[in-house]
């Protein structure tokens, strides 16, 4: 069986951005990822500017999980372990979960 031809096309409204905040909401039908930029204004205040929400089917969420796992493992093999700061119940940078 020959591989299918895959053509990647960027829509007119396509954009790229940097996110250091990702919040997640899951339901029976989909996963919702909310991307934003977190800015720690002071020791007590973090402001998150959300700029993009993306819905994924459970199948695509699992495919993304596998892809991220593989790429993080390759990154760590090349550059060393990625260490995460301890996180409280509120999540990184005090972010509450998306409801």
At 72, the pLDDT band (50, 70, 90 cuts) reads very high
Q: Is the dihedral of CA 87, 92, 98, 99 positive or negative?
A: positive
User: In the chain, how many domains are there?
Assistant: 1
Minimal CA–CA distance to 44: which of 84, 93, 96?
93
Would 96 be classed as within a structural domain? no
Report field, pTM of the whole predicted structure over 0.85 = no
Q: Kindly report the CA angle at 38 between 19 and 70, in degrees rounded to 5?
A: 35
Q: State the residue range of the domain holding 42.
A: 21-82
Would 4 be classed as within a structural domain? no
Average pLDDT, the chain: 89
Distance (Å, rounded) from C-alpha 43 to C-alpha 2?
Answer: 57
Q: What is the pLDDT of residue 98?
A: 53
The average pLDDT across 66-80 equals 97
Would 8 be classed as within a structural domain? no
> Starting at the edge strand that comes first in sequence, how are the strands of the sheet with 21-26 ordered?
21-26, 31-40, 46-56
Would 39 be classed as within a structural domain? yes
SS3 37: strand
């Amino acid at each position: 069986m020959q591989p299918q031809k895959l053509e990647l096309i960027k829509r007119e409204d396509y954009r790229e951005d940097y996110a250091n905040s990702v919040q997640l909401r899951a339901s029976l039908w989909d996963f919702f990822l909310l991307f934003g930029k977190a800015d720690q204004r002071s020791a007590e205040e973090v402001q998150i500017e959300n700029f993009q929400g993306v819905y994924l089917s459970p199948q695509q969420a699992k495919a993304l999980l596998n892809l991220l796992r593989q790429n993080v493992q390759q990154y760590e093999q090349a550059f060393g372990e990625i260490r995460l700061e301890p996180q409280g119940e509120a999540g990184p940078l005090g972010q509450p979960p998306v409801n």
